[in-house]
Amino acid sequence: MKIAVLARKGGQYTHTRIRQAAHARGHSIEIVNALRCHLAITDDGLSVHHEGRPMAGFDAVIPLLNPATAEHGMTILRQFEMMGVFSLNRSAGVACARNKLHCLQVLAGNGVAVPATAFAHQRDKAEDMIRLTGGAPTVIKVPEGRQGIGVALADSARSARSVIEAFAAVKQKVMTQEFIAEAGGTDIRVVVIGGKVFAAMKRSGQPGDFRSNLHRGGMPEAVDISTQESAMAIKATQAVGLNVCGVDILRSRRGSLVIEVNSTPGLEGIESVSGKDIAGAIIGFLEAQLRPTSAAAA
Ligand SMILES: Nc1ncnc2c1ncn2[C@@H]1O[C@H](COP(=O)(O)OP(=O)(O)O)[C@@H](O)[C@H]1O
Ligand SMILES: [Mg+2]
């Protein structure tokens, strides 16, 4: 196979692991900066160009977009899809997962348990957003935040209101969410590949931090998940429409709840604590999707 990775830079652990896995299985792989790609729609058809050269002959594309590359990257990803290149995750699923609010709407609408969440256009709804999500303490989130950066905890309704107002002053929309105190600063990350749970880890935040993200100093450890959590992760993945993703779950008093689905789960941490070759499984999934069926091959 000839694979393109749509990213920004190639040096991160996840990029390196995916490149190694592709090479180990005899494929060619190119990590391209999505921002340096452009596209054309002409009488000759659709094309994507990188550094002045047309990107031709690719069988598969792996989107590893971050906020800086996402908007343009999604346009390039859509172009590849329209050119008939198989995408590890389709653009519609990636777009849904990028926005936590959109994602929670889809999850809840498909019967996946999620924490109480509220969102409004006007800041004068702050009071009601706090009330609807169970009152203080209140989690306040930027819908497109990641790596724990756009997530805050307000201890009182008064501080929640002032945080919402401060975000509104800089024209940043936020959502409020029920605080799952009993999760104790931990969460469960489940990696689903091709409709099956492939690996899981538990993450614990730094002392005093309710966020367990590894980017915020959280520590990963091996974990066993229940059959119900496994089914929940698969259902969440299917609802959002992804082939490969990381589902974040909080263990609450009323059962496990999905807080978000990530279309580009980082592999560092989870590969080491689970002992699983996730990069290899991702390339294996692409091989299975692109392998000619016996009927087509005949
Ligand atoms: N409602 C909540 N109650 C308790 N902890 C939460 C809640 N939402 C998020 N967290 C903690 O904050 C972390 C980051 O939140 P998340 O919604 O996953 O955003 P990000 O995209 O930044 O990872 C989670 O992994 C979890 O540890
Ligand atoms: Mg998260």
Q: Do domains 2-87 and 182-287 have the same CATH topology?
A: no
The third-level CATH classification (topology) of the domain covering 116-179 is Dna Ligase; domain 1 (3.30.1490)
Pocket residue to mutate for ligand 1, from 133, 180, 213, most atoms within 8 A of Cβ: 213
Q: Which CATH number fits domain 2-87: 3.30.70.2500, 3.30.2320.50, 3.40.50.2300, 3.40.50.20?
A: 3.40.50.20
Tell me the sheet residues that pair with 33: 7
Pocket residue to mutate for ligand 1, from 98, 248, 249, 257, most atoms within 8 A of Cβ: 248
pLDDT at residue 294 is higher than 60: no
Query: Which ligand is nearest to the Cα of residue 151, counting in written order?
Result: 1
Distances (CA, A) of 281 to 25, 139, 181, 221, 231: 11, 35, 35, 20, 20
| Range 182-287 classified under CATH 3.30.470.20 | yes
Residue 179: pLDDT band (50, 70, 90) is very high
Residues with CB under 6 A from ligand 1: 100, 115, 139, 141, 145-148, 150-151, 177-180, 183, 187, 205, 210-213, 248, 250, 259-260
Query: Which ligand is nearest to the Cα of residue 182, counting in written order?
Result: 1
Centre of ligand 1 to C-alpha 139, Å, is 8
pLDDT at 11: 75
pLDDT at 68: 80
pLDDT digits (tens, 9 = 90+) for 30-86: 999 999 999 999 999 999 999 889 999 999 999 999 878 888 999 999 999 999 999
d(CA 73, CA 263): 14
**The whole model's pTM is what?**
0.95
pLDDT at residue 298 is higher than 70: no
Higher pLDDT: 243 or 66? It is 243
Bin 194: left if φ > 0, else alpha if -120 < ψ < 50, else beta: left
Centre of ligand 2 to C-alpha 260, Å, is 6
Whole-number mean pLDDT of the chain?
95
Each domain of the chain, given as residue ranges in start order, spans 2-87, 116-179, 182-287
Task: Of 273, 239, 253, give the one whose Cα is nearest residue 109.
Answer: 239
